[in-house]
Structure 1
Amino acid sequence: MKGQRWTDYLYERHPPARLHAWARELAYFRFCRAYGGHANDGDQLLAALRVETQDDLMRTLSTLGVPVTWLDPGDPRPVPGVAYTAAEFAHFPVAMPRFPGIGQPGHVELAGHRAHVWSHGDRLDISVADTLDPYSVSDAAVASAKAIEALLTPIAGQVVDPPQDDRNCVCPRYYPDLWPDRRG
């Protein structure tokens, strides 16, 4: 998508004034527009934290109040080629790629708000969307992200900006006009 078609898609659900307001309200979370199509993704507010070592990860999860799930090498794992129902598959632990002895947090509560926390190598992504429609973002999701940002302030040096490095992420790098006092 290029030009006007992209702009129409970016602002399809939220007018420019709303995205601009959200951009200025949030310090660490960024509005990320869904890729759409067959990606089965949704709009989200996304923040990312650098966690290069297991000690970094443990400190970060502790700061966020996320419990650590230690995995046993003998835990059952899905067998390639075997079909599982969604319920059966949900019982298998999912290990972090960089720290295979630790389980992915998944859906958690941060600062009293629902979020999704997932490790991608040397970073930890925190995603917030609407509670009733996990493919959408509203003012309620922005309020949740703002509350969660209070937990991120002490570890602000770990924040990766942009959390998603492409034009779907409304951030200073791709939309510098929204942050006139900052260059991404």
Structure 2
Amino acid sequence: MNRWTQYLFEEHDEKKLRKWSRRLKFFRFFRALGGHANDGDSLDVAFAYVEPAQLDTFLAGLGIKLVKFDAPPPQPLPGDAYPGDAYLQFPSLIDGTLWQQPGRCDIMGIEVFIWCHAGVLKISLHDGYAVSEQNVRDAEAIEKLLARVVLERIEPPADSLHYIFP
């Protein structure tokens, strides 16, 4: 077994990942980059969008209301240092809008992480740094809502060998 295969199946064996992959229509298992990246495994799905209005419609269909600012909110200044708690007060904005990134939010009471950047909306599920059977069940439930989405799904969610899909 080479090092990549060993790493890929370190947390979940191949049989389990194949089973999960067959159960999921849209979400894909992502094996963390590892090392010093401080990332974790996740289940991800991504959609392409052209105009911000598409995001608003898409997210409203999932029960998520975007925070929209009438004027540009304060943003951190490049080169200035901020204490962690002060930096967290600056809202992250979706590119080309005055709308706050959804970030951590709920879909049908299920905690997800949503980020919109460079024409891609990505939804991620995980338990800390891992993916659990509960995450797979939650993804299956969310996929019922996603089945009627008109945005183009990106397959895989990003160009990476770390995605496992059928």
TM-score in terms of structure 1 length: 0.85
The superposition leaves residues 49-104 of structure 1 with CA deviations (integer Å, 9 ceiling, x where unpaired) of 1111122112111111111111343421112232222221111111112x321110
Determine the C-alpha separation between the residues in 1 that align with 2:117 and 2:151.
18
Q: Which residue of 1 aligns with 2:17?
A: 19
Within-5 A mapping of 1:17-166? 17-97=15-95, 99-130=96-127, 134-155=128-149, 157-166=151-160
Q: Tell me how large the CA RMSD over aligned residues is.
A: 1.5
The SS at the match of 2:115 is strand
* 8 Å contact kept, 2:49–2:151: no
Distance in 2, Cα, partners of 1:39 & 1:12? 17
Q: 2: CA distance between counterparts of 1:30 and 1:74?
A: 35
**d(CA) in 1 for partners of 2:41, 2:151:** 26
State the identity %: 37
SS in 2 for 1:76: coil
Which of structures 1 and 2 has the larger relative contact order (alpha carbons within 8 angstroms, sep 6+)? 2
Residue 67 of structure 2 aligns to a residue whose secondary structure is: coil
CA displacement at 1:4 relative to structure 2:
1.2
5+ unaligned residues in a row in structure 2: which ranges?
A: none
Q: Which amino acid aligns with 1:155?
A: V
| Gap runs ≥5 in structure 1 | 172-178, 180-184
Q: Which residue number corresponds to residue 163 of structure 2?
A: 169
1:174 corresponds in structure 2 to none
Q: Secondary structure at the match of 1:62?
A: helix
Could you say what secondary structure the match of 1:127 adopts?
strand
When normalised by structure 2's length, the TM-score is 0.93
Higher helix proportion: 1
SS in 2 for 1:108: strand
Letter of the structure 2 residue corresponding to residue 45 of structure 1: L
Alignment correspondent of 1:182: none
Report if aligned partners of 1:32, 1:164 keep a CA contact under 8 Å in 2: no
Runs of 4+ in 1 over 6 A off after TM superposition: none
Shift of 1:112: 1.3
Aligned positions, number = 166
